[in-house]
């Protein structure tokens, strides 16, 4: 396990929530709930892009929110809210997702342009 973080209250950044995020080289796991537990996994190779959002209040308390965009069926946008070390985690997710796509030999994006450089290929849609 590379990172394990708890969702924190925005006020003072205290970890009094029942949501934990586990980030490894192969997948991200979100565990939430106290009476009704829910576990959600997303494989790294499915994540295409990440975004870091840090509000003024989050900056004051050293927190951030990481959004992961990808091809997961259950959650196309996976959000890791109010976590510490958010910049490092976002960078790790971006690098690990690319490494996993190369390792699994999956196609990350599809670029359909009107003309390829020097080839003059024209697609009719």
pLDDT in tens, 74-98: 888 999 999 999 999 999 999 999 9
Question: Cα 97–102–107 angle (5° rounding)?
Answer: 85
Report the pLDDT value the prediction gives residue 15, as an integer from 0 to 100: 84
Q: What is the pLDDT of residue 105?
A: 82
pLDDT confidence of residue 107: 66
Query: Tell me, what's the pLDDT at 1?
Result: 65
Query: Where in the chain does DSSP place strands (E)?
Result: 3-6, 20-23, 27-32, 38-43, 47-53, 64-70, 77-83
Cα–Cα distance, 103 to 45 (Å, whole number): 9
| The predicted structure's pLDDT at residue 13 | 80
- Number of residues that make up the chain: 125
Write down the pTM of the prediction.
Answer: 0.78
Comparing CA positions, the residue from 100, 44, 40 lying closest to residue 71 is 44
Q: What is the DSSP string of 96-112?
A: HHHHHHHHHT-------
What span, in angstroms and rounded, lies between the C-alpha atoms of 95 and 87?
12
In the chain, domain spans: 3-104
**pLDDT beneath 70, residues of the chain:** 1, 107-125
CATH class for the domain made up of 3-104? mainly beta
């Amino acid at each position: 396990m590379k990172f394990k973080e708890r969702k924190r209250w925005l006020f003072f950044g205290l970890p009094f929530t029942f949501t934990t995020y586990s980030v490894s080289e192969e997948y991200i796991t979100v565990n939430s709930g106290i009476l009704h537990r829910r576990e959600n996994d997303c494989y790294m190779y499915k994540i295409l892009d990440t975004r870091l959002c840090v509000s003024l209040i989050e900056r004051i308390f050293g927190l951030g929110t990481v959004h992961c965009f990808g091809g997961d069926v259950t959650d196309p946008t996976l959000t890791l809210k109010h976590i510490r070390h958010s910049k490092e985690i976002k960078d790790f997710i971006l690098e690990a997702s690319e490494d996993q796509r190369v390792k699994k030999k999956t196609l990350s994006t599809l670029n359909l342009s009107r003309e390829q450089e020097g080839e003059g290929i024209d697609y009719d849609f």
